Amino acid sequence: MNAIEQLREALGDIVDTDPAALQVARGDRSGHTASGTPLAIVHALTVEHVQQVCRIATETRTPIVVRGAGTGLAGGANAGTGEIVLSTARMTAVHEIRPDDLLAVVEPGILNADLNDMLAPHGLWWAPDPASRSISTVGGNIATGAGGLLCAKYGVVRDAVLGVDLVLADGRLLHLGHRSVKGVTGLDLTSLVIGSEGVLGVIVGATLKLRRLVEGTTCTIAATFPGVRTAAAASAAVTAAGIQPAIMELMDAASLAAVASLLGLPSPSAGTAQLTIQTDGPAAAAEADAVVAVLAAHDGVVQVSHDREEGERLLAIRRSMHPAMAALGTTLIEDVSVPRSAMPAMFDEIARIEREYALTIPTVAHAGDGNLHPNFIFEGPETPPHVWAAADALFRAAIALGGTLTGEHGIGTLKSRWLAEELGADQWEIQRQVARVFDPLGILNPGKVFAAHA
Amino acid sequence: MNAIEQLREALGDIVDTDPAALQVARGDRSGHTASGTPLAIVHALTVEHVQQVCRIATETRTPIVVRGAGTGLAGGANAGTGEIVLSTARMTAVHEIRPDDLLAVVEPGILNADLNDMLAPHGLWWAPDPASRSISTVGGNIATGAGGLLCAKYGVVRDAVLGVDLVLADGRLLHLGHRSVKGVTGLDLTSLVIGSEGVLGVIVGATLKLRRLVEGTTCTIAATFPGVRTAAAASAAVTAAGIQPAIMELMDAASLAAVASLLGLPSPSAGTAQLTIQTDGPAAAAEADAVVAVLAAHDGVVQVSHDREEGERLLAIRRSMHPAMAALGTTLIEDVSVPRSAMPAMFDEIARIEREYALTIPTVAHAGDGNLHPNFIFEGPETPPHVWAAADALFRAAIALGGTLTGEHGIGTLKSRWLAEELGADQWEIQRQVARVFDPLGILNPGKVFAAHA
């Protein structure tokens, strides 16, 4: 029997070969599509289903692409010719919520926002907040090390996971990590799995570290600046002044203009950039006052709201960035990250690349943590060569400033050709060998992350 | 030429074979001593020195034991027959302190307290605070994943390191991690190195994630309880009430009596246990009030201080635990960690083990995070078999309660025989293979961590 026949015999009607579903599994939110069409999608409902798929895949040497909600931005869960899509999207159970131990034990398919809706009545939340949180799964957030708006104050995914249950390529189940706050028993394989993008194993469960909901008011500050460099310098000055906002989002002029056009708002003056800052917790109001003083000293025109709903309206401009870009054409959303102090220099580099490649690169940034999303816009489905050339220049500039290729989206398909450049050949090789310890046959997400070593 | 001759030729007088120094390198603060005497200690001053030692060790197949200040509690840096001690204690430079990027770049040998003294004038600190902080190195803190009193509120070492420079067994230098808040480029080898106890490579540099110094008053609460179980339940109730103290330390009756005897204080009534709790930050006073209410409702006799110095006097009782134990005999300090809610049950298990093995096991706990330090006291240098049998029962009890063998001290020599039991045979083997990717010849800290697989 071939792999599909074995899967059907073992798993019955959770093996899906509907052409429309297979078509969807070729892509994600990056716009990139895999070559060819996968063999089948298995909609796993249990850990045992996942183990059976892995055993059959190992026996038949069939590649597996693990997939959650398909909201990735690096092509990491895109499946093509000859591959089995192993979906954990239907494994949505929440097994435990423990306010006393500040942890939850969940299956990977639950959506981030759905989990937080279940935690809120207990006065709890799980801090990772990718912009996709209403449509992305917790398992996908862990597999990609997804970031978001709140990371400078509330940490990254690595800070919010205590343990992971992982099915290996051969079907064995490992329980990694622990339920206690502290634990240094052996190597930290839990952290190794976070951000591993499906090349080490299948995440079938997670023990999440929770926080208590933040009490007190939320203050929102929106400020416009005569240029993006001024806005970047103002945001760096906020951090340098010792203030830690919950959210600090920067939009350059092209981004702001595109959103104004989408929402039918008055056009901002040419060159106008914007910072949107939110403070929370018991000191929110005092911190907001301090933020306002810093921004005003940096030529900001400042507007403050102490009302949560009005604050959400101010943030709505930032949250409309993705649809505004989509309205302009096909978008390649980049994701470089630099030390906070290098933000103004990184904007200088983006301006240089715009000139050199005759492009407009609308850019938003999580300015509190130095994570920039430059957007390349083009016609048609394929990223044109000159856009890749500009992206290449962008990556080199970020690395030269002490930064990294990807702050929160991952390597996936789209950035694997730059991975060795950042890691160095020795580290690249060590990482690949570590992955092979988990997956000796190389059947998990082949062609991703470590694929394109120069 | 043998290894020592090659080291002398390459490195001159930083190669130390003074018998007294070699004797010191056989032990650490665990009381355990390695068999035999190491060949030499190399006092590396530069990364290049470390690389040369590794190249010579690889060429001559000589084992290396990396060592900082020798303050470990698991025998992980103890060196014996035929081994080279590679000390990074003299690599103490602080290359950068960046208040704007909230990071510091340091060499591994700087003492934790010395680093924090240098950070304080910038309004910054590095949060990991093992009890050994005045005598332990930052490199050692990273290599062991050292914990401390503040972890529940301010995180563990894994949350406070952005990058590590690592020399492999063959002398190659890897730059792991990044300088930015976010970064998901490839596998997270930085986290893998944290707590790896010298089996993956030699830490020769680190990029540390800093915090701003906490402003506001510090409130200290000391409360006595009629028994340890009541005290443990009271501490769990503090967390369950949604309060996050900076410090929450528990001492059982035997600990309290031993410290009272050492310090010449009046003896507490039989069975009396104590909680010492510290709140900090802008809400310190309000949190202290809430803590007092919870403790009083749990039969606590409560004393509060809003003065930092008086608070330190209250904490001095807890800080005198180690000398108080040393005054009683040779001490094996254990280090199990359980979910916070399991603390009362864990104290029941300790009471059961005391009865079954006819031992008194004075126990202190970082009650805020569920990390207990039961102390076994005995005569003479060697841990007697019945103490190991009781420790074995202790580990099994902690694991059965959802806990772990070691919260912050590590596996080293002393716990390697229990490692596979907690990890499971499959995970143990995967971890060992991962270590072999970094060190294919097995010359880094052989006999530690993965040594004693049953």
Please tell me whether the overall predicted TM-score, pTM, comes out greater than 0.90 for this model.
yes
Residue to test with chain B: of A129, A187, A335, A434, most B Cβ within 10 A: A187
For residue A377, the surrounding DSSP H or E stretch is: strand A371-378
Per-residue pLDDT tens digits for B318-358: 989 989 999 999 999 999 999 999 999 999 999 999 999 99
Amino acid A453: pLDDT: 46
- pLDDT tens, position by position, B142-174: 999 998 999 999 999 999 999 999 999 999 999
Residue range B76-87: mean pLDDT, rounded: 98
Whether B119 and B126 have beta carbons less than 8 Å apart is answered as yes
A2 burial type by CB count under 10 A (0-12 exposed, 13-18 middle, 19+ buried): exposed
Q: Residue B172's closest chain A neighbor by CA?
A: A426
Share of chain B above pLDDT 70, in %: 99
User: pLDDT grade, residue A452 (50/70/90)?
Assistant: low
CA B445, distance to chain mean position in Å, is 18
ipTM score? 0.95
Q: Compute the distance between CA of residue A79 and CA of residue A66 in angstroms, rounded to an integer.
A: 9
- pLDDT for B382 equals 85
Q: What's residue B454's pLDDT?
A: 41
Task: Output the average pLDDT for chain A.
Answer: 95
Q: B192 to chain A: which residues are within 8 Å by CB?
A: 187-189, 191-192, 434
pLDDT at residue B24 above 50? yes
CB-based contact B419 A369, cutoff 8 Å? no
Distance from CA of B261 to the nearest CA of A (A): 31
Judge whether A14 and A49 are in contact, CB under 8 Å: yes
Confidence of residue B430 (pLDDT cuts 50, 70, 90): very high
- Please report the pLDDT score of residue B452 as a whole number: 57
Is residue A72 within 8 Å of residue A130, measured between CB atoms?
no
Q: How far apart are CA B374 and CA B303, in angstroms?
A: 26
The average pLDDT across A11-39 equals 96
**Distance between CA B346 and CA A211 in Å, rounded?**
24
Q: Which residues contact B89 (CB under 8 A, 6 or more apart)?
A: B43, B67, B68, B69, B109, B137
SS3 B159: helix
Span B373-399, mean pLDDT? Answer: 94
Q: Does B103 sit within 8 Å of A402, measured CB to CB? A: no
Asked if B182 lies within 8 A of A99 by C-beta distance, the reply is: no
Q: Under an 8 A CB cutoff, do A408 and B191 touch?
A: no
> Going by DSSP bridges, is the β-strand pair B273-279/B247-251 parallel, antiparallel, or unpaired?
antiparallel
- Whether the per-residue pLDDT at A227 is higher than 70: the answer is yes
Domains along chain B?
Answer: 3-87 (3.30.43.10), 94-212 (3.30.465.10), 217-400 (3.40.462.10)
pLDDT in tens, B229-274: 999 999 999 988 889 999 999 999 999 999 999 999 999 999 999 9
Q: Is there a contact between B52 and B10 (Cβ–Cβ < 8 Å)?
A: yes
* Amino acid sitting at position A118: M
Mean pLDDT across A390-399? 96
Average pLDDT of the residues in A171-192 = 96
The pLDDT score that the predictor gives to residue A279 is 96
At B273 the three-state DSSP class reads strand
* Averaged pLDDT for residues A327-344: 94
Write out chain B residues lying below 8 Å of A283, CB-based. 282
How does strand A103-106 pair with strand A124-125? Answer: unpaired
Question: Residue A210 above 60 pLDDT?
Answer: yes
Query: Which two three-digit tokens encode residue B202?
Result: 């030699």
Cα–Cα distance measured from residue B130 to residue B150, given in angstroms and rounded to the nearest whole number: 9
Of all residues in chain A, the one with the smallest CA distance to B200 is A187
CB of A431 closer than 8 Å to CB of B174: no
Could A366 and B189 be called an inter-chain contact, meaning their C-beta atoms sit closer than 8 Å? no
What is the count of residue pairs from A and B with beta carbons less than 8 Å apart?
253
Q: Which residue of A has its CA nearest to B216?
A: A283
